[in-house]
A = this chain, B = another copy of it.
Amino acid sequence: MKTFFLDEDKIDKSSVIPVYYQLASLLKKQIFEGKLQPGEALPPENDLAARYEMSRMTVRRAISELVSAGLVYTQKGVGTFVSKPKLDNVVFELNDFFEEIRKRNMEPSTKLLTVKIVKADQELAKKLEINAGTRCLYFRMVLSADDEPLVYENKYIVFSKQKPILETELKDPSLSNLASVHSDQRPSISKKVLSASVATESEAKYLGLPVKAPVFVVEQTVYDPEKKPIGWGTSIYRGDRYKLTSYTGWSTESL
């Protein structure tokens, strides 16, 4: 027989801190300290409700916090169990360039190298699921932080409405924004593919890199709600400046 509930009454029902949050923190603590080991069952919800003198709904709210944090999982008719930490499944974030740069207290800028109407060649026609020769809007630009070039981009939008290029849209030159301005359809899904490559001659030139220097390539396709492509482009990220970092696991933070 195992004894739970050794911790004193740590729930302060008159506190401004929600009761469910206090209980969630208390359970988290027991997990981090190893009092509740991975695979082990939490006390039943009714027991927790009785012990901490709160309603079962409030207990459930607390547990649902742990579930979404990935600390525990539930099994219908069986119980709630502590998860094993998954340290090898990680996610890398790649956020909007302007947001990311500003977050680092640097000044992002866009240099528009080319903007014109082109006829789609075979490759582009295939990417955008249109006929070769169809007219597309073409953008070529360099994104910089504090005047240091970091990203070189080529973008194509299916050309469906005549509209001038506005100065303002260079404030957000993302493919999804360009597509929403220059297309009839509003973009609703975006696909990005990240790969490793080496800089071509022109890429190296605009990024101030030696030819064949390592780079990240992000190929993006933007679709309308009917899953029809409305924009396609590639972004070349300097390999010497860009790294994607990710942390996973249980941390004693957030108590």
Contacts and interface: CB of A to CB of B under 8 A. Distances in A.
Interface of A: 32, 57, 68, 85-96, 99, 174-176, 187-198, 212, 214-216, 222-223, 225, 237, 239, 242-252
A61 to B, nearest CB: 10
A249 B222 CA distance: 10
B214 A250 contact: no
B189 A251 contact: yes
A187 B93 contact: no
A10 to B, nearest CB: 21
Contact of A244 (B89, B99, B194, B247): B194
Nearest to A99: B89
Given A197-B196, A197-B214, A190 B91 contact: no
A89 B85 contact: no
Contacts of A214: 195-198, 214
Contacts of A242: 195-196
- 7 tightest Cβ-Cβ pairs between the two chains A and B: A87-B176, A196-B239, A189-B249, A87-B190, A194-B244, A196-B214, A91-B91
Contacts of A88: 95-96, 174-176, 190
| Most B C-beta atoms less than 10 A away, residue of A32, A88, A246, A251 | A88
Given A32-B225, A195-B239, 4 more contacts: A90-B190, A91-B94, A196-B216, A197-B239
B32 A90 contact: no
Contact of A246 (B191, B225, B246): B191
Nearest to A239: B196
Contact of A93 (B89, B96, B192): B89
19 contacts: A86-B96, A87-B174, A88-B175, A90-B95, A90-B190, A90-B192, A91-B91, A91-B93, A92-B194, A190-B247, A190-B249, A191-B246, A193-B244, A193-B246, A194-B245, A194-B246, A196-B197, A196-B242, A225-B250
Contact of A243 (B194, B237, B243, B245): B194
A92 B92 contact: yes
